Amino acid sequence: MKCLSVVGARPQFIKSAVVSREIRRIKDITETLIHTGQHYDVNMSRVFFDDMEIPRPDYNLNVGSGTHGIQTGLMLIRLEECVLKEKPDIILVYGDTNSTLAGALVGAKLHIPVAHVEAGLRSFDMRMPEEINRVLTDRISSILFCPSEVAVTNLKKEGIIKGIYNVGDVMYDAMLFYQELAMKKSNILKKFHLEDREYILATVHRDFNTDNRDNLKNIIDAFIECDETIVFPAHPRTVKMLKGFGLYDRILSARNVKLIEPVGYLDFIRLEMGAKKIITDSGGVQKEAYFHHIPCITLRDRTEWVELVEKGWNVLVGTDKERILIAIRDFSVNQQYENNIYGDGKAGKKIVEVIRGQEWRA
């Protein structure tokens, strides 16, 4: 059986690493890995292949950055060519980026079954490009790998009832697999003179936070004005907008904020493990905070990961400076960590089992 996986953005390298490893363990299934080139800086792409020992992509479509139309359009054109050449039995797509939607569209139009890993998530905000990508991808996928019961319910409410498998979250598998290695190999705390539990880790990259000057200014002003050390590995989009809005020098000169380049996965999970709290607008980082039992302050009004808010591990603060400052000072988690709500750490194995079963049924 031949499987073709489409990745392109940072979180997809991490998610696919888990499934690729399982595929490589099994003889009767092979994988062709396609990198769309959506992310291309060394520390947004190559570092993950090195850190996580992911095989080099068989193709890099080099689409790079652009408007949604240009980026997705180029992906469709170049991906279709590869798929026609490779003739896979199944196409695997991950998450909710433009690379996800392009992979799903190409597969569905060529009548190749599409399997969506991280299906069923919804923020119920169609202004988010990711929500559009999620809804459309789920609608045209044949196999829907959900990370949670909430995701299964979301799909059912949309009338999608066939091909759903609640396998748990591949990011949990990744964390379990790499956390020991991160403890051993990462020297990131030493490099930035940090001590465990003496800093807050922050990431910001959502368009509604980076591309709106007021929102971005509120966020960084809260970082600058709080009484904590903030470690802030900034996404290139965020750095570009900080510079464009004339806010870059302001944050660089802040005594308590360490603005650093994006780091590799092992360094990042080491930073998460040592953090006192995590502040983010990332989807993946919200979950990882929970996996490491760290309180998470989310710079959004909604989240797809509603269970985390309901269970008290995550608080939504939007971009209001005072709300962010209050959460930095006061937000804490008051309950014990129960059994993981995102599966048993064997999502990758289950995904490969289902894919192989799918072929037997065909």
Burial 256-288 (b: 16+ CB within 10 A, else e): ebebeebbbbbbbbbbbbbbbbbbbbbbbbbbb
* Whole-angstrom distance, CA of residue 359 vs CA of residue 340: 31
CB closer to ligand UDP out of 10 and 349:
10
Query: Does 38 engage in binding with ligand UD1 (CB under 6 A)?
Result: yes
Min dist CB 11 to ligand UD1, Å, is 5
Min dist CB 108 to ligand UD1, Å, is 18
CA nearest neighbour of 98 among 146, 66, 139: 66
Kindly tell me which residue out of 138, 169, 288, 307 binds ligand UDP, with binding defined by CB under 6 A. 288
User: Footprint of ligand UDP on residues 212-231 (CB under 6 A)?
Assistant: none
Kindly tell me which residue out of 31, 130, 173, 307 binds ligand UD1, with binding defined by CB under 6 A. 130
Kindly tell me which residue out of 262, 274, 343, 348 binds ligand UDP, with binding defined by CB under 6 A. 262
User: Footprint of ligand UD1 on residues 176-215 (CB under 6 A)?
Assistant: 205
Residues 6+ apart with CB under 8 A from 197: 274, 275, 276
Q: Which of 35, 39, 205, 235 does the annotation list as catalytic?
A: 205
φ and ψ at residue 355, rounded to 5 degrees: -60, -40
Catalytic annotation present for 205: yes
Place of tokens 């792409």: 45
Q: What is the DSSP string of 109-178?
A: HTT--EEEETTT---S-TTSHHHHHHHHHHHH-SEEEESSHHHHHHHHHTT--SSEEE---HHHHHHHHH
Kindly tell me which residue out of 6, 9, 102, 275 binds ligand UD1, with binding defined by CB under 6 A. 9
Query: Does 203 engage in binding with ligand UDP (CB under 6 A)?
Result: yes
**Which of ligand UDP, ligand UD1, none does 285 bind, CB closer than 5 to 8 A by kind?**
ligand UDP
Q: Which residues bind ligand UDP (CB under 6 A)?
A: 10-11, 14, 171, 203, 205, 233, 262-265, 268-269, 282-285, 288
